[in-house]
């Protein structure tokens, strides 16, 4: 049987973490998977560390200079030839049974209509190695990892990552969620609830520089990405996306926001991350200049609560 799963790993200066990540792949009890490692503008020894696994894994190594996790993942997606794919950050790692559990699920005929599966429980590790377990929906509202995607579903709907340095995971997942509901009228499936299948590290060693894109350019890309599926999204997704539109404060965002159902606007006014009074002022005046950057904007918004 041909491999059904490809693991896509974007790598930017991840030398310190690659052994743990790739050792977890060689330790998989089911080795019927491909790996695409995308080396993106690495200035450390990441390439040497990855190439050491070429004889131990079915591994393809790509070198690019995007300086963007989003575009590195897109490179991997564009080269994926298996029925399913998943993403692993280079500082994270998998349980030995992760791929095995994925195979058990996708080979069941009753599940083959499913476009996206979520790993039920995610282990979250910090620098002190303390672990807390999270339901993956708590984590994956903002990330693309710990999920298994139907590659054909992604391709026929042209689902790729928005080339932005922040929230690209979140927008990718929301687009998958909306178009999955449109196609199947079904929710996201789950791989396994009985154990941790994906371990998340939180560190600053492999992070891209998130300050090299101007605020106006950032928001324009976000709005352009959201616009095609905003009108067909379910109410829960529209609520979350509309909050992003309000935070942006741009003219393009306002135009799209005006199509939001009144009930959702009311909920946002009462429950937004912005203080209700600040929210009303933002919508009323729609300040196109805003704060200096998205990061300052979000910090200031939370401080106003």
Phi, psi at 121, each rounded to 5°: -130, 135
Is-contact 148 106, C-beta < 8 A? yes
Q: Tell me the pLDDT of the chain averaged across its residues.
A: 81
pLDDT given for residue 284 in this prediction: 57
The region of weakest confidence among 50-59, 96-105, 196-205, 230-239 is 196-205
CATH architecture of 5-201: Alpha-Beta Complex (3.90)
Q: Flag whether pLDDT at 293 surpasses 60.
A: no
Task: Take residue 127 and report the two structure tokens written for it.
Answer: 């620098």
* Confidence at 279, pLDDT banded by 50, 70, 90: low
- The whole-angstrom separation of Cα 168 and Cα 166 is 6
pLDDT, tens only, 31-51 = 999 999 999 999 999 999 999
Per-residue pLDDT, averaged over 79-92, amounts to 96
Task: Take residue 302 and report the two structure tokens written for it.
Answer: 């939370």
Task: Take residue 265 and report the two structure tokens written for it.
Answer: 């606007």
- The whole-angstrom separation of Cα 71 and Cα 40 is 9
* Confidence at 106, pLDDT banded by 50, 70, 90: confident
User: CA neighbours within 13 Å on the CB side: how many for 198?
Assistant: 31
- CATH 3.90.550.10 maps onto the chain at 5-201
Is-contact 114 84, C-beta < 8 A? no
Q: In 10 A of CB 78, how many CB atoms?
A: 11
pLDDT, tens only, 226-274 = 999 999 998 888 888 988 887 777 778 888 988 999 888 888 777 655 5
Q: 168-184 and 235-248 helices cross at what angle (nearest 10)? A: 150
Residue 286, helix vs strand vs coil: coil
Task: Take residue 200 and report the two structure tokens written for it.
Answer: 């998340």
Give every strand in the sheet of 93-94, ordered side by side: 93-94, 198-201, 121-125, 131-135
Is-contact 248 274, C-beta < 8 A? no
């Amino acid at each position: 049987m041909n491999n059904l799963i490809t693991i896509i790993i974007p790598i930017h200066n991840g030398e310190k973490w690659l052994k743990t990540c790739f050792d977890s792949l060689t330790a998989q009890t089911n080795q019927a998977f491909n790996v695409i490692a995308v080396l993106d503008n690495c200035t450390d020894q990441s390439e040497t560390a990855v190439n050491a696994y070429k004889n131990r894994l079915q591994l393809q190594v790509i070198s690019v200079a995007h300086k963007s996790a989003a575009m590195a993942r897109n490179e991997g997606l564009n080269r994926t030839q298996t029925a399913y794919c998943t993403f692993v950050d280079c500082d994270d790692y998998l349980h030995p049974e992760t791929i095995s559990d994925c195979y058990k699920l996708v080979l069941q005929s009753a599940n083959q209509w499913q476009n996206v599966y979520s790993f039920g429980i995610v282990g979250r590790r910090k620098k002190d190695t303390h672990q807390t377990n999270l339901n993956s929906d708590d984590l994956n509202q903002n990330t693309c990892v710990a999920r298994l995607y139907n590659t054909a579903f992604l391709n026929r709907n042209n689902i790729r990552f928005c080339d932005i340095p922040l929230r690209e995971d979140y927008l990718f997942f929301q687009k998958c969620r909306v178009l999955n509901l449109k196609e199947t009228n079904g929710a996201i499936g789950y791989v396994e609830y009985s154990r941790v299948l994906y371990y998340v590290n939180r560190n600053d060693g492999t992070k891209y520089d998130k300050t090299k894109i101007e605020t106006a350019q950032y928001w324009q890309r976000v709005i352009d990405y959201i616009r095609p599926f905003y009108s067909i999204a379910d109410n829960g997704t529209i609520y979350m996306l509309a909050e992003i539109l309000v935070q942006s404060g741009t003219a393009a965002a306002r135009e799209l926001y005006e199509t939001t159902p009144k009930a959702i606007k009311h909920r946002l006014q009462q429950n937004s991350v912005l203080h209700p009074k600040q929210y009303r002022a933002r919508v009323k005046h729609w300040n196109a200049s805003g704060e200096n950057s998205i990061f300052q904007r979000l910090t200031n918004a939370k401080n106003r609560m």
